[in-house]
Amino acid sequence: MVFYRKITVMVVLLLSFGVSARGEDGKYAGAALELGLGARPLAMGEAVVAVSGDGPLFYYNPALSALLQRPQLQLMYAPTFGGVADPMAHYHHAGAVFSLPGQASLGVSWTRFSVDEIPIYPKLNSAMTADRLHQKNLRPSGEPLGTFTDTEDVYYFTFSKLWQPTLPLGWLFIDLPLQIPMGFNLKVLRQSAFGHSASGLGVDWGTLLKFNLATLFDRRALGDLGIGVSVTDISRTAILWDTKHEDRIRTAVRSGISYQQPLRRINGELTLCWTRYEKYQTLNLWGLEVQSHGLALRAGKNRDGFTAGAGVRLWRMQVDYAFVTLEMDGVHRLSCNLTF
């Protein structure tokens, strides 16, 4: 079973830089970018385009980095496809967000998806199945000629800025404070596989409108409402191979809402979120989180099924775990955010 799953991963990776030449419009180009980022967002079904409070959220909406009030360091390790102790693929992330004057922020991040020891098999000696069936010398031995490694690196440079205007509502005799962050990612992609290499340059953009319903409706029990939108790979990011082949990553649009309800009896907060994701198809993603006294429980629905996770805050460190359903397998994600 492990052998066949490894073969499946190998085929997907090879398709990632070969199938678009046959008219698939780069459906598998930059496939590692579809894996998501951060255990907290992943546990919430990736429905986080309008959710604040976590460094890795720049991946889903670069504007959200502006809502971080202090510098933050982010780390994630994600064994993928197979057991935790011996996975077939590895997914790593490291990044940092720094506060700038004028309610702005700057982020630098790196992700790597890699598969080691992908076997290389010889070409079949005959195109006819019947020949190989009747002649033993034409049958493959099943032994690989060697192996190769597929590595996909992405470097993110994020800039975001927060505006806090006030909306006068004269008929209600109130002024409604607004939070409107806006940001963009500049990302550099590097990939190597089977002795060849490729590179690309992409741009993401996002914004958010956030305000307090308690102020708007004069009801102390209400919380904050967020409405967010982001566009990734705005110009259909091109990945250029040294073989002169070109893949393009389709533009994706995320739009959604979040609601954060204070839970005063337990000194906590409930977050409900929904995101509409449009790329190859239209998907509805859902998530929720309950936090209290430094502990968090999360659940959601992503494109492939159920997600769940938990988190704990230890002084300035937030440690999060997620179980994520993917098309091929369920995977575990562990990440850590350190706030300075």
Q: What's the pLDDT tens digit per position in 133-175?
A: 776 666 676 677 777 678 899 999 999 999 999 999 877 778 9
pLDDT of residue 5: 43
Burial class (CB in 10 A: 0-12, 13-18, 19+), 5: middle
- Where would I find the H helices in the chain? 2-15, 39-43, 129-134, 213-217
CA angle 115, 84, 338 (to 5 degrees): 90
Q: Which long-range contacts (CB under 8 A, 24 or more apart) does 258-266 make?
A: 258/48, 258/50, 258/51, 258/52, 258/225, 258/226, 258/228, 259/223, 259/224, 259/225, 259/226, 260/223, 260/224, 260/226, 261/222, 261/223, 262/221, 262/223, 263/290, 263/292, 266/292, 266/293
Token pair belonging to 6: 């490894």
Report the topology of domain 2-120+148-339: Porin (2.40.160)
Comparing C-alpha atoms, which of 224, 288, 225, 227 is closest to residue 254?
Answer: 227
Q: Tell me the per-residue pLDDT of 250-279, one tens digit each, with 9 for 90 and over.
A: 999 999 999 999 999 999 999 999 999 999
pLDDT of residue 21: 38
Token pair belonging to 18: 């070969």
Answer yes or no: are the C-beta atoms of 97 and 71 closer than 8 Å: yes
Answer yes or no: are the C-beta atoms of 165 and 191 closer than 8 Å: no
Comparing C-alpha atoms, which of 276, 236, 235 is closest to residue 257?
Answer: 276
pLDDT of residue 195: 82
d(CA 338, CA 314): 10
d(CA 1, CA 3): 5
At 110, give phi and psi (nearest 5°).
-140, 135
Burial class (CB in 10 A: 0-12, 13-18, 19+), 191: buried
d(CA 41, CA 30): 20
Token pair belonging to 313: 């805050």
At 137, give phi and psi (nearest 5°).
-70, -15
Mean pLDDT by 10 residues, the chain (340 residues): 42 42 52 86 97 91 93 89 71 93 94 81 67 68 72 95 93 88 96 88 97 92 96 92 90 97 94 96 97 96 95 93 84 91
pLDDT of residue 139: 65
pLDDT of residue 131: 66
d(CA 113, CA 76): 12
pLDDT of residue 319: 96
Q: Give the amino acid at 129.
A: T
d(CA 54, CA 95): 12
Specify the pTM: 0.85
Q: 222 Cβ partners below 8 Å, 6+ apart?
A: 212, 213, 214, 261
pLDDT of residue 34: 84
Q: 77 Cβ partners below 8 Å, 6+ apart?
A: 90, 91, 92, 334, 335
